[in-house]
Structure 1
Amino acid sequence: MGAVIVWALIVFAGLLTVFSPVSATNLETTISLMASSMAFVGMAIAQFLATRPPFIEPYFGGLDRIYQLHRKIGISVLVFILVHYFVTPNFKGLALTSGLNEIAADFGNYAFYGFVVLLALSLIKVVPRTKFEFPYHIWRWSHRLIGVLFILVAFHQMFIKRPYDGTALVATYLNIFALLGIASYIYTQALPWIRTRAYTVFDVVRHDGATIISARPVSRPLKAKPGQFGFFRVNKPGLREPHPFTIAGIDDDGTVRFAIKALGDYTKALREAVAVGDSLTLEGGYGHFNHRRGGKKQIWLAGGIGVTPFLAMASRLKGDEGQDIHMVYCVRDRNEAIGLETFQAQAEKLANFSFVLHDSAVDGRLDAAKLAAKSAVDPAESDLWFCGPPPLRMAIEKGLAELGKKPRRVEFEQFQFR
């Protein structure tokens, strides 16, 4: 529902432009100003979504879906501003002052080139036909400049000459989104001091499969549910950039555990440098990956480091959930597995939870037939909760459908935020 509302707000900006005095000019002008209005509203909404407001998550299906929508809006905005730039308006419009009009025109040009560069940098992760990947810290730093460009565009749309005055409905509509976008940008810059929590590392264990980091709150604890993720940063050189990681465990007193695999530059540096006594800054929890939203029969399938949300959820099971849960943990090698003692202990203690470790080095590649054969519940009567590599999920979904055991529903997170 959230995505429908967002796209409706963007399209409505275009419709208001059509039914304004713009339509009395010419087709090129109408198309150009429709594109600019929709681009502006899209930019403002993207700024708002970047504030990560928890209260809207239920309407989008979680923060991961919000970020996917954020990316789609960015693509649409890029298309709209290209249309506005190349389809030149041609009209005798109204200008508040000639000086402001000239400044607004200059700001519009600066913003156009800036947006093209920054949006392209945001949308293209890897340079085509090369192995060069834009570093995360460069992407994050450049992304923050989009808010500055939005302010330039807000000035441009307010003071540039146009075939309607400031009392027109479309002008009021755009001004509302100008305020929303600017306020959202200011809030995102203050976010590190508003919604974060201070923690101290008290234990670090480096397993073959992941680094387990445990930390206690300094004052107010993080508010998170099992299965959610948070933004994590270490307050020491080279590790200050916030990155999203699933919370592998959270206790009643706020103590948290993260299981982080060294897959990139940041996580490799983290594995080498994090130490007991380090200060952490955490923000969260986010996401809707929680088994309590699911049906009475569930299969949990974890692939590699995708075990982290299941580790948090399994550790809090008490046996009174009214759900029969079977978990399959797939690893390339048993030595990479983490949290086995938690899963095994819960499986021995609880009648509603069963557990199987799939060691690919011994058992071969996991497929749908093996999953169905090992499962204590029928996949066709169950929800499939998945966290791991997308190719594994797609292969399992396809295989179960071919076996006539298509799950009732499949729950997973789109853990790609750039």
Structure 2
Amino acid sequence: MSAGAVLVWSLIGFAGLLVVPAVSHTNAGTTFSLMASSMAFTGMALALFMATRPPFIERLFGGLDRIYQTHRRVGITVLVLILVHYFITPDFKGLSLTGGLNKLAADAGKYAFYALVVLLLLSIVKIVPKTKVEIPYHFWRLTHRFIGLLFVMAAFHQTFIKRPYDGTAMLATYLNIFAMIGTLSYIYTQLFPWLRTRTYEVFDVARHEGATIISARPVRRPLRARPGQFGFFRVNKPGLREPHPFTIAGMEDDGTVRFAIKPLGDYTKALRDGIAIGDRLKLEGGYGHFNHRRGSKKQIWLAGGIGVTPFLAMAGRLKGDEGQDIHMVYCVRDRSEAIGLDTFQTQADKLSNFSFTLHDSKTDGRLDAAKLAASSAVDPAGADLWFCGPPLLRKSIEKGLKDLGKTPRRVEFEQFEFR
């Protein structure tokens, strides 16, 4: 577990601990219910904070992808906790500012509860159980935005509802701090499109069999990103305005960027058909810690299909003075799907520390650990394995290398799923 995840769960747990001295004069049911509500409220505030995608805490989690994994787990925990609070009703003689505010706070809590249960379920469940019906991303994202408003209602509820402790209790101060954190985080996320994005203009679109290659230059300030990072991408035209995360396949010194996007879903298919030269893009980033410079001296890069994009960006920036020996293996179902071969081959011909192998599954058969080890100029045993592609391929290669007695020093990959 990352340091960031430990911090998040510790802050949530501490809210529960603070309840005990504040309500010790009540009964066990009340204590348990208020522990659940306090922890749920703190968890919601932290989830809203994580949704702001703060770059300065990425290193605590090991990348934005890990932040979102924790974000999702916190969401599930909050759902369970608010159900506990709802079904175990507190029973106490408490303090309230006025009868009117207490009634408003009670109503706010009730309506926020029902709405939160629905929205949290929509956030957690991607496919309707026992069906093939998948909740559309744009619908998920639209409904997800209302969670911040519901948090404000919950903050009003916990501030003005009758409670068995006064405003000077440490618990009250703690929850007030997180009320402020959550509210400010929600406001910030709504201002994201104006504060954090950069405007780009498309100057080239190449539709290959394996991917759509989009090249764009900055209109004003360029994106700040390192090779291997990803950004959030949206096009300023109908049907393409929802931001989606894509790895940056190339970035020049003047800020010019390239994205290689495979048409796999509704958005990426619409993007392939609809994007054109002259379109304006809104980009945000870069995010992620997928960068070979923090790796060891011996590395194997393994790309599966469109997972080649971060390696395109990293290989294109190699100069030969990195002090690292790198072998790149690019696995495709058919050679016709491969992109960026010129970049890899040119660098392999020019640099002594970089070599390259294309694995065409149609002619070479399925890639396994034995074939990887045989084709690599770098011995997998004790080397870093940097991977981007289908999880099943990674797991198969990891297990195979272990069985061969060639376990890598470490395996680096990103959990590239944000929902």
The residue number in structure 2 matching 1:5 is: 7
TM score, norm. by length of structure 2: 0.99
What is the letter of the counterpart of residue 300 of structure 1? W
- C-alpha displacement of 1:216: 0.3
- C-alpha displacement of 1:174: 0.1
Q: Distance in 1 between matches of 2:91 and 2:395?
A: 50
Shifted more, 306-315 versus 396-405: the winner is 396-405
CA deviation digits over 1:209-256, x for unaligned, max 9?
Answer: 000000000000000000000000000010001000000000000000
- Over the aligned positions, Cα root-mean-square deviation in angstroms equals 0.5
CA deviation digits over 1:327-366, x for unaligned, max 9?
Answer: 1000000000000000000000000000000000000011
CA deviation digits over 1:2-24, x for unaligned, max 9?
Answer: 1111110000000000121x121
Q: Distance in 2 between matches of 1:336 and 1:24?
A: 69
Q: Distance in 2 between matches of 1:298 and 1:274?
A: 36
Q: Distance in 1 between matches of 2:229 and 2:235?
A: 19
What is the letter of the counterpart of residue 15 of structure 1? L
- C-alpha displacement of 1:129: 1.4
- C-alpha displacement of 1:299: 0.4
CA deviation digits over 1:190-214, x for unaligned, max 9?
Answer: 0110010000000000000000000
DSSP 3-state at the match of 2:108: helix
Q: Distance in 2 between matches of 1:129 and 1:370?
A: 39
What is the letter of the counterpart of residue 51 of structure 1? T
Q: Distance in 2 between matches of 1:87 and 1:379?
A: 55
Q: Distance in 2 between matches of 1:383 and 1:317?
A: 17
- C-alpha displacement of 1:93: 0.7
After TM superposition, the structure 1 = structure 2 runs for residues 83-122 of structure 1, keeping only pairs within 5 Å, are 83-122=84-123
- C-alpha displacement of 1:102: 0.6
Q: Distance in 1 between matches of 2:53 and 2:259?
A: 21
User: Are 2:351 and 1:340 aligned?
Assistant: no
DSSP 3-state at the match of 1:379: coil
What is the letter of the counterpart of residue 312 of structure 2? L
DSSP 3-state at the match of 1:343: helix
The residue number in structure 2 matching 1:412 is: 413
DSSP 3-state at the match of 1:24: coil
TM score, norm. by length of structure 1: 0.99
CA deviation digits over 1:262-314, x for unaligned, max 9?
Answer: 01000000000100000000000000000001000000000000000000000
- Is there any run of 5+ residues in structure 1 with no aligned partner, and where? none
Q: Distance in 2 between matches of 1:369 and 1:159?
A: 65
The residue number in structure 1 matching 2:232 is: 231
Q: Distance in 2 between matches of 1:125 and 1:115?
A: 17
Q: Distance in 2 between matches of 1:243 and 1:403?
A: 39
Q: Which of the numbers 8, 16, 19 marks the counterpart of 2:18? A: 16
Q: Distance in 2 between matches of 1:107 and 1:23?
A: 26
Identity of aligned residues (%): 78
Q: Distance in 1 between matches of 2:207 and 2:16?
A: 54
What is the letter of the counterpart of residue 7 of structure 2? I
The residue number in structure 2 matching 1:45 is: 46
The residue number in structure 1 matching 2:160 is: 159
Q: Distance in 2 between matches of 1:96 and 1:404?
A: 69
Q: Distance in 1 between matches of 2:87 and 2:381?
A: 53
Instruction: Kindly tell me the number of residue pairs found equivalent between the two proteins.
Output: 417
After TM superposition, the structure 1 = structure 2 runs for residues 1-400 of structure 1, keeping only pairs within 5 Å, are 1-20=3-22, 22-400=23-401
